[in-house]
Amino acid sequence: MSKKEIGEHVKALKAGNDREAAAAADALQKDISYDDDRAAIAIEAGVIPPLVALVTNGSNPRGQRAAAKALAVISLNARIPAAIVAAGGIGALVALLRNWSEDHLYLGFEAAQALNHLYSDDVGAVESAANRAAIVNAAAVDPLVALVTNGSIGDRGQAARALAALALCDAIQEAIADAGGIPPLVALVTNGAADEQKWAVRALGNVGSLNEANQEEIVAAGAVYPLVKLMRDANGSLKDAAVEALQNLDPVAITSLTWQLQALQAENASLKRRLDRAIAPAQDSDGDKQPPQKRSRG
């Protein structure tokens, strides 16, 4: 994509109708993300502000989604996140999360994905930390917890991924717990699809890391058994995430697991006694019966 073509797309974003603006956003996200030269041209041509404006003011969800997706994809290029933040992109994306509804499920998916990329490892530690703080200050935690609780499959996974990354910050760990984020994350670990489970497991591990109060809440919400089950039965990154989460919950999780094992052992012993009592009369009755007599021949 040439500088001239990028300029034409910027014009469509600024002055085109909803269909034209969405088409321009789609075209931009396909050609900029992995090309440093095009990313530099895009920044110079002023691509980012009209994309953020379309996220903020788009009258059609299709245009908003296309703009959010474009921001999510092109932000994979390390040059782009700073420009998104400078254009007010964090507030716009968080607002899109807050306005997510069942009628437009993928808006939440794209917004959460775009926010994820603003604090990825490629961005740099200082910028990543600043962006993470800005996302929290924009009150992103509550809508992300809402997405984990009520969103579609794609929304839940992306929201859990965003919470996992945000929870690397101590203050956000408490914010997630205060927003009621722990029970729905445990539910996602227990019943979610594999990718959802992975991000929910990582979120729980980070939320509980070095935070005893959160560890206790995670354990009380029933996380230990599904984490142990994933550690035993899952493969690859999901298994690794479960192991790490349990390590972060130690020693609270170990205490809980020991208690659960003791409870299971006691329950098994009780069931065995009940079974023995149920079987005993039948065995006694069988013992009283005379063996069948052989029929004599002849």
- Residue 202 near residue 168 (C-beta atoms within 8 A): no
Q: What is the pLDDT of residue 266?
A: 63
Q: Encoding tokens for residue 180?
A: 């009621």
Which amino acid, residue 73? V
Length of the chain: 298
Q: Tell whether 250 is covered by a domain.
A: no
Q: For the purposes of burial, counting CB atoms within 10 Å of the CB of 49, is it exposed (0-12), middle (13-18) or buried (19 or more)? A: middle
Scanning the structure block, which residue is given the tokens 């040059």?
79
CA atoms within 13 A on the CB side of 233: 8
**Domain presence at residue 207:** no
**In the prediction, which pLDDT does 296 show?**
56
pLDDT for 295 equals 54
Per-residue model confidence (pLDDT) at position 290? 58
| pLDDT tens digits along 59-115 | 778 888 889 999 988 888 888 899 999 999 999 998 888 776 655 667 777 888 888
pLDDT at 142: 92
102: CATH: 1.25.10.10
What pLDDT does 188 receive? 96
Determine the structural domain holding residue 8 and report its residue range. Answer: 1-139
- If we measure between CA atoms, which residue out of 272, 249, 245, 120 comes closest to residue 189? 245
The CA-atom distances, in angstroms, between 91 and each of 18, 55, 97, 146, 149 are: 22, 10, 10, 17, 22
Q: Is residue 265 part of a domain?
A: no
Q: Is residue 85 part of a domain?
A: yes
| pLDDT for res 293 | 59
CA distance 208 to 218: 7
- The answer as to whether 108 is a domain residue is yes
Asked whether residue 21 is domain-assigned, the answer is yes
Query: pTM for the whole thing?
Result: 0.70
Is residue 67 a part of any domain in this protein? yes
Which residues of the chain fall short of a pLDDT of 70? 33-34, 100-105, 121, 251-267, 280-298
- Residues 75 and 117: beta-carbon distance below 8 Å: yes
The predicted structure's pLDDT at residue 83: 92
Structurally, the chain folds into a number of domains equal to 1
User: Which residue has 């039965």 as its token pair?
Assistant: 233
Is the peptide bond prior to 251 cis by the omega test (within 30 degrees of 0)? yes
Q: Is 116 inside any structural domain?
A: yes
Distance between CA atoms of residues 247 and 241, nearest Å: 10
Structure tokens at 238: 């999901």
Exposed / middle / buried, residue 61 (Cβ in 10 Å: 0-12, 13-18, 19+): middle
